[in-house]
């Protein structure tokens, strides 16, 4: 909660409307290492899950050769920062029936930082 307040203050201080600009990339990278790296590479190779290189803008369930669930393959959207922010906090709410074994981050501020980090994987 304290972090959310700090981020909000930073946004107000620099007079910027986009919370993404106040996100902390170092924290995002750490959140990734702690919660995602066991299953996802930041490159193109699959681990347990598909590689996340070039994730933002990519159609969901579209890495060639990765064996996605039917739910992910037919999700029918391309990943945006907004979709990812929802997905990392509640994967089943975004792609119902997907088989990613992760229940979601509880901390919204960490989710914002994580998504900012995911956007750098291009
Ligand atoms: C225990 C393993 C595991 C963990 C932990 C995990 N994932 Fe996944 N992830 C998967 C699997 C498996 C899939 C494929 C799901 C499917 O096909 O339904 C997936 C799919 C995804 C996708 C969709 C990719 C695409 O090509 O459309 C995204 C985005 C994603 N994960 C991000 C994350 C992030 C960010 C984290 C950390 C917060 C995370 N995952 C944590 C295993 C994991």
pTM: 0.87
DSSP 22: G
CA of 93 to the centre of ligand 1 (A): 14
pLDDT value, residue 22: 75
Which domains are assigned to the chain?
23-118 (1.10.760.10)
Q: Which of 95, 102, 116 to probe ligand 1 with, by most ligand atoms within 8 A of CB?
A: 102
Write down the pLDDT at residue 9. Answer: 44
* 47: Cβ contacts below 8 Å, ≥ 6 apart: 38, 39, 40, 41
Structure-block tokens of residue 45: 């190779």
pLDDT tens for the chain, 122 residues long, are 445 554 444 444 444 445 545 789 999 999 999 999 999 999 999 999 999 999 999 999 999 999 999 999 999 999 999 999 999 999 999 999 999 999 999 999 999 999 999 999 99
The CB of 63 under 6 Å from ligand 1? The reply is yes
Query: What ranges make up the beta strands (E) of 6-48?
Result: none
Q: In whole angstroms, what is the distance from residue 82 CA to residue 9 CA? A: 21
Q: How far apart are the first and last CA of the chain?
A: 30
């Amino acid at each position: 909660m304290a972090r959310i307040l700090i981020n909000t203050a930073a946004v107000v201080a620099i007079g910027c409307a986009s919370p993404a600009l106040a996100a902390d990339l170092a924290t995002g990278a750490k959140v990734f290492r702690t919660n995602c790296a066991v299953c996802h590479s930041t490159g193109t190779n699959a681990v347990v899950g598909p590689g996340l290189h070039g994730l933002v803008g990519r159609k969901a369930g579209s890495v060639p050769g990765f064996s996605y669930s039917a739910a992910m393959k037919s999700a029918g959207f391309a990943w945006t920062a907004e979709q990812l922010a929802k997905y990392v906090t509640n994967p089943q709410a975004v792609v119902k029936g997907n088989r990613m074994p992760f229940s979601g981050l509880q901390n919204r501020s960490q989710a914002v930082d994580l998504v900012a980090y995911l956007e750098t994987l291009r």
